[in-house]
Every structure is written in C-alpha cells, then in structure tokens.
Amino acid sequence: MEATKLHAIPLEPLGIDVVEKLEEILEAAKRGEISSVAIACVYRDGMTGSTWSAVPTFSMLIGALRCLEYRLMRQWNDD
C-alpha cells in the first residue's frame, strides 16, 4: 500500500479592494439604484462561488455579465 502524500495548497492573494467594491454596490442598492445583482467570487482556498438576486429582466443581467467577462478578459490579456 502506498503512503498518502500531503501537498500544500497555495492561497489566493488577498484582494485589497474586495470590501470597498462590495460596499459601493451595497450603497447603490440601498439608494434603490440597482434592480438585480450577480456575484462571482474566488475564496482564498481556491474554491469559487456565485449567487444572484431575483432578476426582473434576465437578458439585462446576462448582458451585464457578458460585458464584465469581456472586460476581465481584456484586463487579463493586458497584464
């Protein structure tokens, strides 16, 4: 029987502006400016998560997600 080997899992770096971005969106939501929200996140242990609110217009939220995906891919390619 072969012995089990343990491997260290590197942590994702701490996002320096995570709380700031969440607070910006929370304040806009409290002012009634946001009709729906989708959130994707990466936990420090490498796991991912996502959630979304009730959506009055699915096409608008999906369009916003596609715009975000495009912006993230451009940023990734520019780095």
Q: Which value, to the nearest 10 degrees, does the dihedral of the CA atoms of residues 63, 64, 70, 71 take?
A: 160
pTM as predicted: 0.73
Nearest-5° Cα angle at 68, 62 to 71? 145
Mean residue pLDDT of the chain comes to 90
Instruction: Please name the residue that has the structure tokens 């979304």.
Output: 52
Which is more confident, 49 or 46? Answer: 49
Q: Alpha-carbon distance 45 to 10, whole Å? A: 7
pLDDT at 15 over 90: no
For residues 61-65, average pLDDT: 95
Q: Find the DSSP H helices in the chain.
A: 18-30, 58-78
Q: Which value, to the nearest 10 degrees, does the dihedral of the CA atoms of residues 66, 48, 29, 72 take?
A: -30
pLDDT score recorded for residue 29: 97
Which is more confident, 56 or 6? Answer: 56
